[in-house]
Amino acid sequence: MSQALDTSAGGSGDLRRRLEEAEETIRALKAGEADAVLVASPDREQVFTLEAVDKPYWLMVGHMPDPAAILTSDGVLLSCNRPFADLLGEDSVTALAGQPLGRFVGAESRQVLESLLRSGMARETEAQIEIERADGGRGTAHLGVRALREGAFGFCLLAVDLTAQQHYQELQRTQAALREADRKKDAFMATLAHELRQPLAPMRNAVEILRSAGNDTDERSWATGVLDRQLRIMTRLLEDLLDVSRLSRHNVELRLETIELRHVLESALETSRPFIEAGKLALTHALDGPIRVHADPVRLAQVFANLLNNAARYTEEGGSIRMTAEQVGDQVVVSIKDDGIGIEPEMLPSIFEIYSQANPELARSQGGLGIGLSLAKGLVELHGGTIEARSEGAGRGSEFIVRLPIAS
Amino acid sequence: MKVNPDPEPQEEGPLRLVEVAAAETVDPAMWDLRLYVAGKTAKSVAAFENLSRICEEHLAGKYKIEVVDLLVHPQLAQGDQIVAIPTLVRKLPEPIRKVIGDLSNAERTLVGLQLRPARSGAEDAS
């Protein structure tokens, strides 16, 4: 730099300019904005380029199957592979060198890109970027950015479109969900087989007794009673199954009429009474009246009967169930609350999913397929209402709340 | 690092390499810019692209860019005392100004060419 300090050439202004140039040279080299230097010796000038140093990176990027590019720290494209040019809708890979990537980024993503490049210098970072392609189209890239050391002259960035990887991860998640659904379905099938087989033994016994009873009327009426009850259980089971299947195919037709809600709730109570009495449960109810709803009385009674049966099933002997209905605004809120085994908090969100059962072992021992709640939800929603489950945890009872629009 | 003592014939590419004519009459209203590059290194290519864009935006119709490839003509650097490549030299209007690097920072380039006044305290606008 002795030449730069030679003030005889043009005074202090010239010296200042040369010092500034020297500073600017150092800055550009440090920032990686220059990739060649010229070294002058008395007999000749030699040019040294950094090409050899970063060539392996370039080759690597060129052969990557995913879109990839090398950028300067402020986002100017230095080199990219064919897939990256395709991503930007640009025919020529070489024409992209020297262009700021920001040019191909939608206005809404510019700031995202800036902070991506900034944090990419410090650590590997990813972000979703909206692409405005050179051919006018639009697209999305999930860019992962990381710093590459570029020889002794500073850093540049490697940007890779991870969209394909993301799709792969999404597929993996879907696959896991499908496997879980499949597992639940298997468990459901096992329960279903068990439930369908259970009435067969008493029915077979009853048939045997009928065969051998002769004229003994007591024996005969006991046996027909068994057949009657077990047939009813099987019928209900199969009806529920068919309804769930119809609901999932949106194949349920409601016969709507404007009715008194009290009649629906009483009909549900009638259906569930045998279960409630079998469990020696205390049932209380308080119904605001008169409340009229526009509903299918049979289907709606099925909803509340299912909820009552569910409460009875999961409440220990001697427990209590309370059913209330009150008008709140333009809705009627029906609550069915028990002091039974309750629901674990982590089970609450999936309680209405088909095949889901708070405790499959318990449910099997007490009968039921765990489809009653799923059915209730589907039917309530068909009526334009909502259903909600609440529980403060295991052993602390459950409450099911149905909200339905009141008929005007 | 790679030493390039011997000039190699240049293939067709994005750089338009213009040999510098010894003496030329120049319209005083024209901007006479000279960009020193080293073949087609990434920064050389980037500098040319960035410069073309900036000129089209700010000096449309009144600029001339000469690209000097120092791999081919290393001796042409002498007059402008080039150290780092790429370097842009504004020959006209006077005084001569230099901007070193790939010109990827448009703001810095505009300030360097005096197309925009430097912001106080914001010299390093990277």
C-alpha closest to that of A51 among A201, A151, A188, A130? A151
CB neighbours (10 Å) of residue A262? 16
Q: What is the model's pLDDT at position A289?
A: 73
Cα torsion A350, A355, A357, A360 to 10°: value is -150
With 90 as the cut, is the pLDDT of residue A156 above it? no
Q: For A373-393, give the secondary structure using H, E and C.
A: HHHHHHHHHHCCCEEEEEECC
Q: What SS3 class is residue A326?
A: strand
Q: What is the pLDDT of residue A5?
A: 43
Contact B101 A28 (CB under 8 A): yes
Is residue A287 a contact partner of residue A247, using CB atoms and an 8 Å limit? no
The answer to whether the Cβ–Cβ distance between B77 and A95 falls below 8 Å is: no
**A16 neighbors B95 (Cβ within 8 angstroms):** no
For A47, which of B45, B49, B70 is closest by C-beta distance?
A: B70
Q: With an 8 Å Cβ cutoff, is B71 touching chain A?
A: yes
Q: Is B12 on the interface with A (CB under 8 A)?
A: no
Taking CB atoms and an 8 Å limit, are A46 and B5 in contact across chains? yes
pLDDT for the residue numbered A323: 93
**Which CATH number is B57's domain given?**
3.40.30.10
Chain A: closest CA distance from residue B27 (Å): 26
From chain A, pick out residues whose CB is under 8 angstroms from the CB of B13: 94
Over residues A313-335, the pLDDT tens digits come to 888 888 999 999 999 999 999 99
Percent share of chain A, pLDDT over 70: 89
The CA-based diameter of chain A, rounded to the nearest angstrom, is 139
Strand order, beta sheet including A155-161:
A77-80, A68-71, A155-161, A138-149, A125-132
> CA torsion angle for A139, A145, A149, A155 (degrees, to 10)?
70
Is residue B68 a part of any domain in this protein? Answer: yes
Distance between CA atoms of residues A310 and A380, nearest Å = 16
Strand partners of residue A105: A131
Q: Note whether B61 contacts A: Cβ–Cβ < 8 A.
A: no
Collapse the DSSP code of A205 into the 3-class scheme (helix H, G, I; strand E, B; otherwise coil) and give the result: helix
Q: Is residue B111 part of a domain?
A: yes
Kindly state the DSSP code that residue B77 receives in the 8-state scheme.
Answer: G
Residue of A nearest to B125 (CA): A74
Residue whose token pair is 């990739």: A35
pLDDT at B120: 52
Say whether B44 and A35 touch across the interface (CB within 8 A).
yes
Is pLDDT larger for residue B41 or for residue B16?
B41
The CA-to-CA distance between both ends of chain B, in Å, stands at: 26
Q: Which amino acid is at B62?
A: K
Of these ranges, A149-153, A204-208, A355-359, B122-126, the one predicted with the greatest mean pLDDT is: A204-208
- Give pLDDT, residue B18: 46
Indicate the SS3 state at residue A39: strand
Quick: pLDDT tens for A237-271: 888 888 888 888 888 888 999 999 999 999 999 88
Nearest Cα neighbor of A247 from A397, A353, A97 is A353
Residue B1 included in any domain: no
H or E stretch at A401: strand A398-405
Instruction: Give residue for tokens 């890779």.
Output: A160
- CA-to-CA distance for B63 and B56, rounded, in angstroms? 9
**pLDDT (average), residues A6-19:** 68
Which tokens belong to B23? Answer: 């003496």
Judge whether B54 lies within some domain: yes
Reading phi first (left if > 0) and then psi (alpha if -120 to 50, else beta), residue B103 is in: left
> From CA A214, how far away is CA A191, in angstroms rounded?
37
Report CA torsion sign: A390, A395, A396, A398: positive
Interchain proximity B43–A95, CB inside 8 Å:
no
Residue B76 lies in a domain: yes
Q: Name the burial class of residue A299, with classes exposed (0-12), middle (13-18) and buried (19+) by CB atoms within 10 angstroms of its CB.
A: buried
Please, which residues have CB within 8 angstroms of residue A406's CB and are 6 or more apart in sequence?
Answer: A291, A292, A293, A327, A330, A331, A332
Q: Is the ipTM of this complex over 0.95?
A: no
Contact A98 B1 (CB under 8 A): no
Asked whether residue B2 is assigned to any structural domain, the reply reads no
What is the predicted pLDDT for the residue at A151? 41
Residues of chain B positioned with their CB less than 8 A from the CB of A27: 100-101, 124
Q: Which among A248, A259, A249, A239 has a CA at the least distance from the CA of A306? A: A239
Pairing type for strands B2-3 and A386-391 reads: unpaired
Rounded Cα gap, residues B110 and A338, in angstroms = 77
Cβ–Cβ below 8 Å for B77 and A25: no
User: How high is the pLDDT of residue B13?
Assistant: 42
Q: Kindly determine whether residue A28 and residue B100, on different chains, have CB atoms separated by under 8 Å.
A: yes
CA distance A25 to chain B (A): 6
Q: Give me the residues paired with residue A77 across strands.
A: A71
Of the two residues A351 and A355, the one the predictor is more confident about is: A351
Q: How many domains does chain B have?
A: 1
B63-69 sheet: strands from edge to edge: B63-69, B31-37, B87-92, B97-100
Q: Is the pLDDT of residue B5 over 50?
A: no
Are B42 and A35 an interchain contact pair (Cβ–Cβ within 8 Å)? yes
Q: What is the pLDDT of residue A164?
A: 84
Chain A partners within 8 Å of B77 (Cβ) = 38, 40, 45
Question: How many CA atoms lie within 13 Å of A59's alpha carbon, on the beta-carbon side?
Answer: 6
What is the overall mean pLDDT for chain B?
74
Q: What's the pLDDT score for residue A55?
A: 67
Per the DSSP assignment, residues forming a β-bridge with B84 are A37
Q: List C-alpha distances in Å: B65 to A53, A160, B9, B57, B73.
A: 29, 34, 21, 14, 17
**Hey, what amino acid is at A199?**
P
Chain A nearest-CA distance from B96, in A, is 10
User: Peptide bond preceding B7: is omega within 30 degrees of 0, i.e. cis?
Assistant: no
Q: How far apart are the first and last CA of chain A?
A: 94
Whether A295 has a pLDDT exceeding 80, the answer reads yes
Domain that holds residue B120: 13-125
- The model's confidence at residue A280, banded by pLDDT at 50, 70 and 90, is confident
- Is A180 a residue whose pLDDT tops 50? yes
Sign of the Cα torsion A205, A211, A216, A220 reads positive
The model's confidence at residue A301, banded by pLDDT at 50, 70 and 90, is: very high
Question: In three state form, how does the secondary structure of A350-364 look?
Answer: HCCCCCCCCCHHHHH
pLDDT tens-digit readout, A57-88: 777 888 888 888 888 777 878 778 899 999 99
Range with lowest mean pLDDT among A41-55, A160-174, A221-235: A41-55
> Is residue B9 over pLDDT 70?
no
- Averaged pLDDT for residues A307-313: 90
Q: Which of B8, B57, B71, B85 to mutate to test the interface with A (most CBs of A within 10 A)?
A: B85
Residues from chain B that touch A46, judged by Cβ atoms under 8 A, are 3-5, 74
- Please state, in angstroms and rounded to a whole number, the distance separating the CA atoms of residues A322 and A337: 5
Measured between beta carbons, the chain B residues lying within 8 angstroms of A53 are 1
